[in-house]
Every structure is written in structure tokens, then in C-alpha cells.
Chains A and B, each alone.
Chain A
Amino acid sequence: MASEFILEMNHITKLYGSNAVLKDVSLKIRPGEIHALLGENGAGKSTLMNVLFGMPVIHSTGGFEGEVIFDGQKIAIASPMDAMEKGIGMVHQEFMLIPGFSVTDNIKLNREITKAWPVSKLLGKDLEFLDTKTMAKDARKALDDVGMSIEEYTLVSGLPVGHMQFIEIAREIDKSGMKLLVFDEPTAVLTESEAQQLLDVMKSIAAKGIAIIFITHRLDEVMNAADSVTILRDGQLVSSFPKAETSPEKLAALMIGRGSESVIQVEKRKEAVEGGVAMSIRDLWVNMPGEVDKGISLDVREGEILGIGGLAGQGKIGIPNGVMGLYEAIGEVELFGQKLPLGDAGAALRAGLAMVSEDRRGVGLLLDQSIENNIAFTAMQVKGSFMKKLLWQKDARAIRRYAEEMIKELDIRCTSPAQPVGTLSGGNQQKVCVARALALDPKFLFVSEPTRGIDIGAKQLVLETLVRLNREKGMTIVMVSSELQELRSICDRIAIVAEGKVVDILKVDASDTAFGLAMSGVKSKEGEGA
């Protein structure tokens, strides 16, 4: 039975424990159409694709509800291999290529064309010889189809990054019976002209009748290439419509959406902060894997809470890590008029900076150590606090006193200051991280993803603490967060980072459209500009 849609995913619901990450989501794709799938991080795009590919993570967490109809038949996809055999392919965001193999070998990986000989007839197909000639011919054809003129026998290791994306695509279209291809952020690493070429290739693949799911955050590419659009937000289907009925502004607004109420109610400042510049960042490049920055320029005003937002992997987390010297960075950073050396965490701490890291368990805490030692550790090392004058002994009593004060003030739920932090809940661990940063008595505080993975009560407390520190002690705070709603509730201004650059700096009450556009790299009229 021929059906109108090549793929129908109907009423998909997926729970992780009691937490629903997909709620009654439906997706319908026609043969030969390019269907853009949009949404913020955590909107459920990846989970939906994991369901489609039958990833082990879905099966091992209790499967999903809903039905998948592919090519007119209701199917259950057991594994990614199964999906591939049924004709569903994926062009990965990270390259799944073997550098030491030739282009042909990569395109034909584990689908080699082979010739039998007596030994292989006896001992199995694994011992059949590779038919390199036919393989090369097939690879050549696939490369021509994606418009690549490179020789099929060159090694992948020497090729520019842009070419690798096309080889990935060539590999997928070389597979026979391919009916649906998923492109996951395919243009992220490409130059502008390569991106254009890729969109053209997508269109020519679609013209052959292969349907394409196009995951991206670049709205201009959606407008350029897609036939229809589906938008997810917080695991729910927001909207699904043909492209002709929309505009980038509308897409941006739908992606962001007025979420739930503010996380906490904070009395807004009457007037904007007009202090001097606390930190000036000029052309900062940070080499943090997955969060690369390519020329950040930003001024932080004294006494404000500046939010830094943006989608995951766009480089917002790279900023605090680069300035604090945790990852390789170049550029100019001045703190209160003093030049800050980069790549030296000790110097950054001594200059009066402190940071609550997004990697709580990795960078933030010594998990086997007690709460009090964790709180005092950095201050002891950097400033020599909590030390006796005589023989450089640590002053256990002073540490205990300070720790108890902090436990009370931040409401750290624990049995005693001597409890190992590894046994605390995520929210309480985060509070210990904050306490540790405060023990340095910093003038300037970076907080990176402070509410990631902690419950709502702890979230409120952490955010309230930040506001109090800012209002009472006049501490300048830069908060990096993926949760726009959170930034909107406590910040004075919000800088949005996309593709390693500050796109725009927006007021907290700027429109959803402005935020949505900024996240996909487009500056709007409402912002003060970057």
C-alpha cells in the first residue's frame, strides 16, 4: 500500500524514570521532502531521533509509547543497524570516518563488495577478498552525486574538514534502498560556500525521492532549503507546517516560547547598572572541546549580573573556562583595568576571580573529601587563608567555623561538615561549590550552569544566593546558563553566544523572537549589539 508519508511517528511519548522528555509528539515526512526539525537544547530532537534509530539508550530505559510507520508499514526498530537495513540513514554531526582509510574504504566500510574463493566458501564470508575495483567505481558514483571531485583513493586524514561532511553523505547515499536520511547539524563545521553546496546536495538528493530530516539551528538555512518545518519545545510538539507559511521571526518566537513562570521572583532594579567596566574581554579564542570560542568581545559592568545564553556547543561555556585559564585561550582580558594573563588558573584566582564550574563532579569538587575541606581548599592554596602562622599548619577550627557558617547560610543539607561531598545530593554539592568560591572572597564571580541537574528547591536557593551576593556585597556576577528563563529572572542583561561569537546583548524583557534569532546567529533590532 503506497501511503502519502514515508515516515509517520505518531503520539510518541518517552519517559526517563518519571521524567517525560517526549510528550505525545508526532512527525510526518513525505517522500522527497526536506523537513526541518527545530528546537532548543533539551527540546527532544535527539530523543526523537534516538527513537527513530532504535538506539540502545531507548530500549534500555523501557522503550517508548506510540507507533512508528515507515513506508506504509508499522515497524519496530531494534537497533541502528536494523534502521540502516530498513533504509533510514544518518549523517552524523561528529564524523564517523576512519582517517587512515581511503575515501572508498570509508564509503564502503562494513559494506565491502567481495569475491568468494575456495577458502571463503569453506570458512565463511569474512574471508572473501575485497573487490577493490567495483568498490572504487561505486564510491566514484556516490562522490559525483554529492558534487565532490576528489579522488576516491585519497586518504581521509589529509582532507579538509568540509570534505569529510560530504564523504559522510556520499556513504549514506551509496547505501542501496535508502529512503530517509537524517542530517544532524550538517553545516556546523562548514564554510559559507560549503554550506551552500551542502544545501544544494540535499535538494538534489531529495529530488531523487529520498526524504530528509534536517536538524539545524540556522534559520536562514531552514528558509533556504526546507519544504516543511516541525518545532519542538520542552518535549512537546509546538507546531508543524509548510515553510511557505512562516518567516524566520515566527520560527524564532515559536522555538523560545514564553515558558513557565519565572523560576524565582526578584525585585528588579529600578535603574540600569551604570558602573564602570569590571571586565573587558577582547577577541577571546578558547579551545575547549565542544565549546569553542572564536573571537568573543564583551564588557561586563561593575555590579551587574550578566547572563550568557545560547544553545549547547556554541561556545558560551568556553568563556568562563577560557578566562579562568582552564582551557587554552588567546585574546585580551582586563579585570578592573588590570591585564589578566590567560592559561594560568592560579593567577586568575589571585586576581580576585572565582568560578563555580559546570563540571561539578569533575572540576568543582574533591568527592572523597569532607565538606569543610572542599570549601577551604582553594582559599588555602591561593590566598593562604585558614592557615596558622606557625609551621604552615591548617587551622582546623577556623575552617570548621567558616564551614558551619556557610552550611547555615546556604542551607546545605548534611549530617556534619565532615561528611564527604560525594554522598551529598546534586543540589547540595552545588551549594558547596558556591561556598568554596565565596571562601575566596572574590570581587568577580563566574557561575557556569549553576542549576544543571539539581531540583527546583535547590535551584531557587542557588539563584537567590547569587542575587543576594550581588545586591548586598556588590559582587559582579557572570552567569552562564542554557535555561533562558533562569537568566531572564535574575540577570540585568543577557548576552547570546552562537558559533563562538557574541551575537547580541539583550535586555531581559526583549521579545522571544529577538532571543530566538540571536540563538541562531541573527542580530535583531532590539539588542544593543555586540
Chain B
Amino acid sequence: MRNTNQVKSHLEKYIVTYLFIALSVLFIIASGLDINYVASQLLLRLNRNAFIVLALIIPIIAGMGINFAITIGAMAAQIGLLLTINWGVSGVPGILLAAAITLPLGAFFGFLIGKLLNKMKGQETIGSLILGYFANGAYQLLFLFIFGSIIPLNSNVTIVGASGVQNTLNLTGSVGLYTAVDGIAHISLLLAVYIFCGALALAAVIQFVRKKITQKRLLACIALAVVIAGVFCIPAVADVVNGSHGRELKLPLVTWLLILLLCLFNATIMRTRLGQKFRAVGQSQTVANASGINVDRTRVIAIMISTVVAGWGQIVFMQSEGIGTFQTYAAHEQVGLYAGAAILVGGASIDRATNLQALVGTFLFHSLFITAQSAASAMFGNSAVGEYFRAFLSYGVIAVALIMYAWRSAKQKKAGQMNLAEQRAAKS
């Protein structure tokens, strides 16, 4: 009885995730794409997107829903990149400069967003979405008119014969920002997996010796490490990863270290007093307020962190392998949408999210993205269908998540009040 209930509630929580796993498998098979190609594309997209998706976690925990206003963080990053290109700083220093510019800009924008969202409590998700659209107008004004005419720019980034920033900005060649982070060092995926498994097992043992975890947990961790390592030893899998026929799969080391660092940051902050405030405010603003927590300030901090981190994520995205140029006026538009959809696919909801959910979600969401086009042309003989399917997918996932959230909280509210008939039965 208890077990079936647990399974049921687990399924309820992760139905979207399982649906996506099933769809991914179906699409990979239907698309007829080479598995090595799919894997390498997937890895590429994980490098690019994981950082931004992870930026969504803190606002979710602080009870502010999915912060679609990370779009504005992306805009801050693009301002940083534009100035970096304009000043001709290249390579790692260029990236660091762009990140340094993003920090105060993102924090300031985040502060404003937070202030505004505090005025529309309960509607943060929709509010931040609309805010992103609104900011797009201000961004265009800035890039089309103010840059170039009021703030002078070099001619290599402005529109020839007019003011305003060029439609496309190039990061390759002499600009020298392309793969500035990705290209520092690579490590083969196989090695990375073995190191990860080893580290996992080692950490489990250390924690066990320090009596932080139970024996059961220790064995589970070691078993997990062995299974993962084992899977990659299977010749069929190893072939794909080695690229016996195709490319060898490699991870950009520094990018992944940054992603891990961000995961660590998200986990660490939750163990601090500030993290406790985020959780308390997220669960009940009334109670948090009654205990003397400054609810509004806590929420503003959550959004500021999220906006800055999303900006840095956008820089990671821009410099990553296979991008090279960006559409000055459009590159930020879908950032919030795709990241929001990805984290929801991973099993997060409007009020809870973890690092793992963000990573798994990014993985699943993009596995469909990669294969949708080929699968559609294979199934319907028309690759355009795949394009529609992508849009349908991202909006659909968000709509489903919002509905599920409303449905679940209504149900919870009902469960909170004991059924009248039950009460009467209990009394007599």
C-alpha cells in the first residue's frame, strides 16, 4: 500500500522526465543518426547550456518560480562582450573582462528585477517572462541608438554608414574570443568518467569514515560508481566514446570545472544562513517574516545571484565550440525559455529544483532538440515539422509544468484540510 503510493507520487513528480526519456530514445532511433554524432552534439550542448540552466535553481528554491528574466542577465553579458570586442581584448583576458563587466551590470539589473518581482508576488514566473520581453526593447534602444552615437564604438562593430551595433558580432579570428575557455584544455570523456567514478567512491568512503553517511549509503555510492564505470567498459559504448568510427568524445576541461564549481556553489550556499533564508522564504513568506527574516531583501538577493550567474552562462555559451558569432539583437531571446524548459524536463518544478535535475534536464531537452529535425524528416518527410516541434516542446513543457504545479498545490491544500466526512467519522 505504502509502496504503491510512493511509486505513484514519484511518477506524478517525474512524469515529464520519463516522457522525455521515452521520446528521446524514440527520436534517436527514428532519426537514424549516428550515435557517435548524437553523443558529440549532446556533449557540446551540455557544455554550452548547463551553466545557464543551473542559474535558475536559487530563485526556484526562494519561491520565485522560474526566473525567465535570466534573459536580462544574458543581455548584460552581451553588453560585456560587445565592449570587450570593441576594446580588442582577446583570449582568456577578454573573457574575464566580459565577465567582470557582467558582474555589476547583472547585479544591478537583478536588483531592479527583484524589486519589481516583489511587487507582484505569486506571479513571478509570468512577471519575469514579460519583463524579459520588455527589457528587449530597452536593449534594442541601447544597441541601435545609444551605442555608436552617444557612446562611441570602433567602426568594426558598428553598422557601416550608420550608428548602432552590427546585426552579427563575430568572436572568431582576430577577435580571439571563440573557444577561449573551451579551448584551454580537453580531456577525453572516458577518462573524465573514470575520474568521476573514482572520486565518487573515494568521497563516499571518506564520508563514511567520518561517520557522515550510513553503510547503506556508502555501498549505494560505490555500486553506482562501479556500474557507471562498467557501462563505459562495454565495448559497444567504449567504441562510441573512443570514436573508433567517428570522433573521439572530449570534454573541455575548464568549462566543466566551472560547471562543477557552480554546482558546488549552489549546494554550498544552501548550507549557509543565507540558504536557510532562501528555503524559508520559498516555503512560507508569512512564517519567514514572523521570524524576522527580511523577505523582500532575501528575494532580491536570490534574483541578483541568478541574473549574474546567467550572464556568465551566456558568456560560456557564446565562446563555446560551434557558435563563433552571435546575433546581436536575437541571441538572448530564447535563453530564458530554453533554460526554463530544460530544468522542468529534469523533474524540477515551480518550487523545487536541484543541480542534478538541471543537468539531467539539459541533457534530455537537448537530446530531443538535436534529433527532432532528422526524426521529423524521417517520419513525415519534412524537416520543417521538426522545427515546429521544438517550439511546441519548449512551450508545452512549461505549460504542463505550470498546470501540474497549480493542480498539485490545489491538491495539497485539500489534503491539508481533513475531509469533513473523515472528521465526523473520527469524532463518533
Name the distance in Å between A492's Cβ and chain B's nearest Cβ.
30
- Whether the pair B427, A295 counts as a contact (CB closer than 8 A) is yes
User: Beyond A110-B291, A294-B427, is A126–B273 a contact (Cβ under 8 Å)?
Assistant: yes
- Whether the pair B423, A112 counts as a contact (CB closer than 8 A) is no
- Whether the pair A99, B273 counts as a contact (CB closer than 8 A) is no
- Whether the pair B423, A294 counts as a contact (CB closer than 8 A) is yes
Residue A127, interface by CB 8 Å: yes
Residue B138, interface by CB 8 Å: no
Interface size on B, residues (CB 8 A): 24
Query: In the complex, what distance in Å separates the CA atom of A286 from the CA atom of B269?
Result: 45
B272 — which chain A residues lie within 8 A by C-beta?
114, 120, 126-130
Name the distance in Å between A67's Cβ and chain B's nearest Cβ.
26
Name the distance in Å between A463's Cβ and chain B's nearest Cβ.
34
Residue A81, interface by CB 8 Å: yes
B427 — which chain A residues lie within 8 A by C-beta?
294-295
User: Beyond A109-B280, A127-B274, A130-B272, is A330–B421 a contact (Cβ under 8 Å)?
Assistant: yes
A286 — which chain B residues lie within 8 A by C-beta?
420
Query: In the complex, what distance in Å separates the CA atom of A127 from the CA atom of B270?
Result: 9
Please report which residues of chain B, range 277-303, place their CB below 8 angstroms from some CB of chain A when the two chains form the complex.
277, 279-280, 283-284, 286-288, 290-293
Q: Say what secondary structure dominates the interface of chain B.
A: helix
Query: In the complex, what distance in Å separates the CA atom of A127 from the CA atom of B272?
Result: 5
- Whether the pair B283, A330 counts as a contact (CB closer than 8 A) is no
Residue A105, interface by CB 8 Å: yes
Residue A173, interface by CB 8 Å: no
Name the distance in Å between B210's Cβ and chain A's nearest Cβ.
13
Name the distance in Å between B272's Cβ and chain A's nearest Cβ.
5
Please report which residues of chain A, range 126-150, place their CB below 8 angstroms from some CB of chain B when the two chains form the complex.
126-130
Residue B2, interface by CB 8 Å: no
- Whether the pair A101, B280 counts as a contact (CB closer than 8 A) is yes
User: Beyond A84-B292, A97-B287, A98-B283, is A110–B277 a contact (Cβ under 8 Å)?
Assistant: yes
Residue A328, interface by CB 8 Å: yes
Residue of B nearest to A81 (CB): B292
Residue B276, interface by CB 8 Å: yes
Query: In the complex, what distance in Å separates the CA atom of A7 from the CA atom of B102?
Result: 55
Residue A100, interface by CB 8 Å: yes
Residue of B nearest to A289 (CB): B417
Residue B271, interface by CB 8 Å: yes
- Whether the pair A285, B284 counts as a contact (CB closer than 8 A) is no
- Whether the pair A100, B277 counts as a contact (CB closer than 8 A) is no
User: Beyond A109-B291, A110-B291, A283-B424, is A128–B273 a contact (Cβ under 8 Å)?
Assistant: yes
A80 — which chain B residues lie within 8 A by C-beta?
290, 292
Name the distance in Å between A95's Cβ and chain B's nearest Cβ.
8
A101 — which chain B residues lie within 8 A by C-beta?
279-280, 283
Query: In the complex, what distance in Å separates the CA atom of A129 from the CA atom of B268?
Result: 9
Residue A273, interface by CB 8 Å: no
- Whether the pair B292, A125 counts as a contact (CB closer than 8 A) is no
CB < 8 Å neighbour of B424 from A92, A96, A114, A330: A330
- Whether the pair A112, B276 counts as a contact (CB closer than 8 A) is yes
Name the distance in Å between B212's Cβ and chain A's nearest Cβ.
11
- Whether the pair B286, A112 counts as a contact (CB closer than 8 A) is no
Please report which residues of chain B, range 388-428, place their CB below 8 angstroms from some CB of chain A when the two chains form the complex.
417, 420-421, 423-424, 427
Residue A329, interface by CB 8 Å: yes
- Whether the pair A130, B271 counts as a contact (CB closer than 8 A) is yes
Residue of B nearest to A328 (CB): B420
Name the distance in Å between A387's Cβ and chain B's nearest Cβ.
37
B421 — which chain A residues lie within 8 A by C-beta?
330
Name the distance in Å between B125's Cβ and chain A's nearest Cβ.
20
Residue contacts A-B, CB under 8 angstroms, 28 given: A81-B292, A92-B290, A96-B286, A97-B287, A98-B283, A98-B288, A100-B279, A100-B283, A105-B276, A109-B276, A109-B280, A109-B288, A109-B291, A110-B280, A110-B288, A110-B293, A126-B273, A126-B274, A126-B277, A127-B272, A130-B272, A130-B276, A285-B424, A287-B420, A294-B423, A294-B427, A295-B424, A328-B420
Given known contacts A109-B288, A287-B417, A294-B424, what 18 new A-B pairs fall within 8 Å (CB)?
Answer: A81-B292, A96-B291, A97-B287, A98-B288, A99-B283, A101-B280, A101-B283, A109-B280, A109-B291, A110-B293, A127-B269, A130-B271, A285-B420, A287-B420, A328-B420, A329-B420, A330-B420, A330-B424
Across the A-B interface, the 4 shortest Cβ-Cβ residue pairs: A110-B291, A126-B274, A109-B291, A81-B292
Question: Residues on A close to B: CB < 8 A?
Answer: 80-81, 84, 92, 96-101, 105, 109-112, 114, 120, 125-130, 283, 285-287, 294-295, 328-330
